[in-house]
Amino acid sequence: MCGIVAYLGQKNAQPILIEGLKRLEYRGYDSSGIALLGDAEVTITKSVGRISALEEKVGVDVSAATLGIGHTRWATHGAANTINAHPHVDYTGKITLVHNGIIENYATLKKWLESKSVEFASETDTEVVANLIGYFYSHGNSRNGTKVPASGNKFEWAVQEALNELVGSYGLAIICSDYPDTLIGAKKGSPLILGVGEKEFIIASDASAIVEHMTQAIYLSDNEMVIANRDGFKTKTIDNIAVSKSLKEIEFSLDAIELAGYEHYMQKEIAEQPEALATCMKGRIDLKSNRVVLGGLQNHLRKLASTKRIILTACGTAWHAGLVGEFLFEQLARIPAEVEYASEFRYRNPVINDGTIVIAISQSGETADTLAAIEQAKERGALVIGAVNVVGSTIARTTDAGVYLRAGPEIGVASTKAFTAQVAVLTMLAIELGRRRHLSNEYAGELLREMVQLPDKVGLILKQSDHIKEIAKANIDRDNWLFLGRGLNYPVALEGALKLKEISYIHAEGMPAAEMKHGPIALITDGMPAVFIATRCSQYEKIIGNIEQVRSRGGKTIVVATEGDENIKQYADYLITVPDTDEKLQPILNVIPLQILAYHAAVLRGHDVDKPRNLAKSVTVE
């Protein structure tokens, strides 16, 4: 979940590293650091907290070094302090590296190194990697007795031997003071990209740290390493087998990851949802034939339409999108479906029968738990489909087929536009599978015509931001909230509660409205906010009854209702309206006010919306 950036070229490395770390700060912000290699000497600067603190520490005096590595940390092993901050240097002072991931066998390796009189300064698993490489490098032989070839590159050999000892996940950028023209990167389970320019290279966790300087990159696969020098680069497996990698165009521009006048990325990304939804659907909905065309799935649609079971697997917000998908696959396509937490999927011996299809959902395409679930599903013979946002991500390359969300870069830690795009993709797929099974062509057409109107309707909801801000202002002193919905609005309630928790640190529970009376109703106190998603739907009268149950116990009701519904006003202490649409499409509209509500609550409480405490955007560790 940490961010890595490294530079080798003709320019001063320091400002490129600092700027790259700012772009990657959403991946972790407990501490940060850079290492610059010039004149065979490495200079390391570290700081606790945000990149701004590191920037102040390094100052404006730019080093002449043209090789360096940087890191922004989300702590796993060891407290967030300067000792545990990256980069880490080995005990000889020759090897310096940054790491994203977790080394599972670090304790065993540390014990072995300590038996060789190697000393450690930090509590991290990463220092074990540095010291292991350093030990092999200084002694010229590995743990199993392999010696460096007489004609080989000693630095490259030591890294390769060390990588073969590691169990766990890593994205690594490594430098050696004896090799001032060499930068090595390696990947297993954590994302790593090599940006390629004119006699310059950037290694980074994702393209946001590269796109300002380069437009082309290669995407490393697991168990691969790249060795770059001032003349070029080569790629190979950690077992020393050469690998040919194709250069890919980076799919977005620098403008897409700038704030563009907004105060926060979350605010910007909420506002981008009309455009993101339109782009997600563009070219995929054929209103003439009432069909959905998902290019990445065309060769598998017959198998999808005939399957007897779909499993959706994801984490966090993506899991909530998957739950909407479960309801839609069953209601529109009449296919049994279930959504699984990816973090639990591989540990409970899941039943995957012949013909089972697994859909993995992830914004980043790098979520470690979801990747593990994919591996489990593939081992058991399932066709695995990905629904991801980041082009070239590991999930996109690991799954059998897939659909890109096309939502554009999402920087804010709390996912917004990716959620609505995920729901849109799953809705389109459910409609197409339904059309191929039993859904009438007329109803499929009605749904698709309604879908293409959703971007404009989202735009109308966004205009209520100031009104929603006043609702947030009136209730932010309350530390416990309920979010309640029925049917397809139950996942929306879950997502609304998660958003409020993530960025405002208000405790919130999301649940099916009918379940409230089976225990949680005991929590309701005078003035407690209860957010109801009560748009016109098949269970409208039922949820009115649930609102009454809260009101009779003194709770304050914040109601999301259909525009023009005069009846609902008598039940709402605070009312937010959304445009009318088909019940199957309501989640995409109904979640928007909840995103705005959470955003304003967090800002009013004085929190950093884009970098909430203890969280990071892309969860690439277990």
Q: Smallest Cα–Cα separation from 407: which of 293, 281, 311, 302? A: 281
CA distance 14 to 6: 10
Q: How far, in whole angstroms, is CA 308 from its chain's centroid?
A: 30
Contacts (Cβ under 8 Å, ≥6 apart) of 30: 48, 49, 73, 74, 75, 80
DSSP string, 483-511: EEE-TTHHHHHHHHHHHHHHHH--EEEEE
- The amino acid at residue 553 is R
| Pairing state between β 529-533 and 248-249 | unpaired
Going 352 to 356 to 362 to 367, the CA torsion angle's sign is positive
- Residue 26, sorted as left (phi over 0), alpha (psi -120 to 50) or beta, turns out to be alpha
List the catalytic residue out of 2, 176, 280, 315: 2
The token pair at 86 is 């990256």
CA distance 123 to 341: 31
Q: Smallest Cα–Cα separation from 323: which of 495, 520, 514? A: 495
Q: What is the 3-state secondary structure (H, E, C) of 203-250?
A: EECCHHHCCCCCCEEEECCCCEEEEEECCEEEEEECCCCECCCCCEEC
2 has catalytic annotation: yes
User: In the beta sheet, which residues pair with residue 353?
Assistant: none
- The amino acid at residue 510 is G
Using DSSP, state whether 173 is helix, strand or coil. Answer: strand
List the catalytic residue out of 22, 94, 268, 617: 617
Catalytic machinery residues? 2, 617
